[in-house]
């Protein structure tokens, strides 16, 4: 029974994490638009606060995921789980890259256009689809 409670909160914190992964790059889109210069200071505050929330969600997702894995080490014997782990590594890299971008904005050194951020914003959606399909179907495409 405790496994299901842990799994439930793992999913809750994953949703928190993804909310940030979806919204932070969207803030970058608006922050990169020259016509929004009057709002740049506000964007910096919003980005920092959202990044903190998103990082808490990521950390708790990771911790609870490790607890679940400790309770079910047999998961490591499945190919679909290995693919899920690979997708998670990509998500953590994306998460870190969002941090690097936030620092560039904070220092007024953004190097990308709002159009670039619109494409960048799509990566977590693709990874979420891959992870959900893997976990629900427990098969590799």
| Tens digit of each residue's pLDDT (9 = 90 or more) over 23-63 | 999 999 999 998 988 999 999 999 999 999 999 999 999 99
Number of domains in the chain: 1
Query: pLDDT digit string (tens) for 118-135?
Result: 999 999 999 999 999 999
73-88 pLDDT, tens digit each:
999 999 999 999 999 9
- pLDDT confidence of residue 141: 67
The pLDDT, as a whole number, for residue 130 is 96
- At residue 10 the predicted structure's pLDDT band, cuts being 50, 70 and 90, is very high
Residues present in the chain in total? 141
Q: Note the pTM of the prediction, 2 decimals.
A: 0.94
Q: What's the pLDDT at 36?
A: 85
What is the extent of the structural domain holding 64?
2-137
Residue 14 has pLDDT above 70, yes or no: yes
pLDDT at 89 over 70: yes
Can you give the three-state secondary structure of the chain, one letter per residue? Answer: CHHHHHHHHHHHHHHHHHHHHHHHHHHHHHHCCHHHHHHHHHHHHHHHHHHHHHHHHHHHHHHHHHHHHHHCHHHHHCHHHHHHHHHHHHHHHHHHHHHHHHHHHHCCCCCCCHHHHHHHCCHHHHHHHHHHHHHHHCCCC
Q: Is the pLDDT of residue 8 over 70?
A: yes
Packing angle of the helix pair 79-106, 2-31 (nearest 10 deg) = 40
The predicted structure's pLDDT at residue 15: 98
State percent of the chain over pLDDT 70: 99
Measure the CA–CA gap between 45 and 43, rounded to whole angstroms.
5
């Amino acid at each position: 029974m405790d496994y299901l409670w842990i799994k439930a909160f793992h999913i809750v914190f994953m949703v928190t994490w993804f909310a940030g992964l979806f919204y932070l790059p969207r803030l970058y889109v608006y922050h990169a638009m020259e016509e929004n210069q009057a709002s740049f200071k506000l964007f910096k505050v919003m980005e920092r606060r959202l990044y903190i929330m998103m990082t808490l969600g990521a950390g708790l997702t990771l911790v609870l995921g490790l607890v679940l894995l400790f309770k079910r080490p047999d998961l490591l014997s499945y190919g679909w789980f290995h693919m899920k782990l690979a997708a998670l590594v990509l998500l953590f890299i994306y998460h870190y890259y969002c941090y690097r971008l936030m620092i560039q904005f904070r220092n007024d050194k953004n190097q990308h256009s709002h159009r670039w951020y619109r494409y960048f914003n799509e990566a977590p959606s693709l990874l979420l689809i891959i992870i959900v399909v893997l976990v629900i179907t427990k098969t590799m495409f």
